[in-house]
Structure 1
Amino acid sequence: MARMKWDELSPRRRRLIVVGGAVDGALKIAALADLVRRPAAEVRGPKWGWALAIMLINSAGAVPIAYFTYGRLRPPTT
């Protein structure tokens, strides 16, 4: 399959790419903001490792979602 240029994409595909990028960016920003504010004792694994993974892995939102579901420890309930 030949690579298509941006001008050759349909308007629908262009919108999907832009919306997908915006969602991925928003998830990354939210995950990094939470990571910065959260104490290290409430994070599974090293904070620097999560930060690198969130910033560097092109994941279509999978790494930030993994951080929110697996990387944060739940505070004990009383």
Structure 2
Amino acid sequence: MHDKKKKKTWKDMTPGQRVGVFVTGAVQMGLLVAAQRSISKTPAAQIRGNKALWRAASFINFFGPLSYFLFGRRRGTA
């Protein structure tokens, strides 16, 4: 009566699925590192909102770093 799906473990995955998991994780980590570095190096006046909040938000998978890059930085003034 319980039709619970068993979670797929690493050893249950095909080589292609393993590569996909690795690539997805690498992209996520790259975005996180890029966002954190940008927040550190960018003056507070060029960031919309609080730097600490953007730091915390950047830890949300994909959405956080992409949101920072799309909405958190002020553009135009050099």
TM tier, shorter chain? Answer: 0.7 to 0.9
| Aligned residue number for residue 70 of structure 2 | 69
| Aligned residue number for residue 6 of structure 1 | 10
Amino acid at match of 1:68: F
| Aligned residue number for residue 47 of structure 2 | 43
Higher relative contact order (CA 8 A, sep 6+): 1
Runs of 4+ aligned residues of structure 1 deviating over 3 Å after TM superposition are none
How far did 1:11 drift?
A: 0.7
Gaps of 5+ in 1: none
> Counterpart of 2:58 in 1: which secondary structure?
helix
1:33 is the counterpart of 2:37 = yes
What is the TM-score normalised by the length of structure 1? 0.87
Give the percent of matched residue pairs that are identical in Structure 1 and Structure 2: 34
Pairing of 1:46-57 with structure 2 (within 5 A): 46-55=50-59, 57=60
Amino acid at match of 1:6: W
Give deviations 1:23-54, integer Å, cap 9, x for gaps: 00001101110100001011111000000111
| Preserved CA contact (<8 Å) 1:31 1:54 | yes
Give the number of the structure whose alpha-carbon radius of gyration is greater: 2
How far did 1:75 drift?
A: 3.5
- Alpha-carbon RMSD across the aligned residues, in angstroms, is 1.2
